[in-house]
């Protein structure tokens, strides 16, 4: 399967940018964080889910798709990531996606995974934001990848995009990144353990009838 332009649409100059780093644009950002948790020896701020709209919380939903079980499907328009499960269900996660000019669509695979990954801004991003450091160590409270990163490759070539955590939980449900798919840190940890190397990922503009309608969302089952 070749790397074809019609399969992956890259937006703007950030086609290789792997996360957006900006001054916080979401009011009362600290209100989205509450308490701390420890993961693999690293202490991090927990998401204050009491402040998060229920639609963005992790939950099991009805999902109809011809994609194999275990596939990750991202609906960028509605800001949901689905991990397809058995019996026409999926685990649905709220996500943040690429802002205008940084969106992309297509297929890839998770060919690399990292716990508390180091973040190195790509050259294009440092040109736009010269104040950025050359790198940020994993586990740093300033690392925008959070506790987990799942690296998206296509035919062995790094797309530059990742599924990862975030420093800005208020950005979930918004077009906010440079193309990467942001998740609540707790959700990034959850998805990481469910997706082995080789997991197929499909990023779509939107999903029409595979997922439940808005009227059915109230019947969704929370995932602890």
State both tokens at 124: 């294009």
Q: Which of 78, 79, 129, 180 is catalytic?
A: 180
164, 115 in Cβ contact below 8 A? no
- Catalytic residue at 164? yes
CA-closest candidate to residue 20, choices 170, 148, 125, 158: 125
Contact present, 220 and 61 (Cβ < 8 Å):
yes
Active-site residue, from 78, 79, 129, 164 = 164
Q: Which residues are catalytic?
A: 164, 180
């Amino acid at each position: 399967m070749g790397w074809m332009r019609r399969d992956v649409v890259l937006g703007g100059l950030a086609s290789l940018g792997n996360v957006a780093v900006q001054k916080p644009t979401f009011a009362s950002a600290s209100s989205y964080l509450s308490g701390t948790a420890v993961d693999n020896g690293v202490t991090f701020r927990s998401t204050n889910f009491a402040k998060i709209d229920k639609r963005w919380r992790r939950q099991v939903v009805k999902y109809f798709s011809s994609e194999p079980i275990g596939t990750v499907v991202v609906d960028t328009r509605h800001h949901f990531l689905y991990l397809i499960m058995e019996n026409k269900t999926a685990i649905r996660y709220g996500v943040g996606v690429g802002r205008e000019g940084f969106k992309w669509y297509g297929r890839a695979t998770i060919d690399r995974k990292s716990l508390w990954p180091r973040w190195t801004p790509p050259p294009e991003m440092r040109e736009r934001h010269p104040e950025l450091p050359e790198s940020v160590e994993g586990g740093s409270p300033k690392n925008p990848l959070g506790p987990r990163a799942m690296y998206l490759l296509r035919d062995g070539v790094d797309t530059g995009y990742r599924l990862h955590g975030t420093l800005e939980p208020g950005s979930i449900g918004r077009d906010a990144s440079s193309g990467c798919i942001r998740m609540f840190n707790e959700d990034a940890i959850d998805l990481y353990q469910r997706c082995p190397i080789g997991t197929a990922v499909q990023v779509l503009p939107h999903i029409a009838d595979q997922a439940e309608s808005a009227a059915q969302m109230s019947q969704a089952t929370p995932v602890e």
